Amino acid sequence: MATSVKELMSAANSAVPKISADEARKLISEENALLVDVRDAPELQASGKIKDALHVSRGMLEFRADADTPYYNAEFRKDRPVILYCASGGRSALSGKALKDMGYERVYNLGSFKDWAENGGDVEQM
Task: Give pLDDT, residue 67.
Answer: 97
Domain that holds residue 46: 14-124
Domain for residue 119, yes or no? yes
Tell me the CATH number at 93.
3.40.250.10
**pLDDT tens digits for range 98-107:** 999 999 999 9
Name the average pLDDT for the chain. Answer: 94
pLDDT digits (tens, 9 = 90+) for 20-51: 999 999 999 999 999 999 999 999 999 999 99
| pLDDT-above-70 percentage for the chain | 98
Please count the structural domains in the chain: 1
How far from the centroid of its chain's Cα atoms is residue 114's Cα?
14
In a domain, 5, yes or no: no
pLDDT at 117 over 90: no
27 in Cβ contact with 97 (< 8 Å): no
User: What is the dihedral sign for C-alpha 48, 19, 13, 61?
Assistant: positive
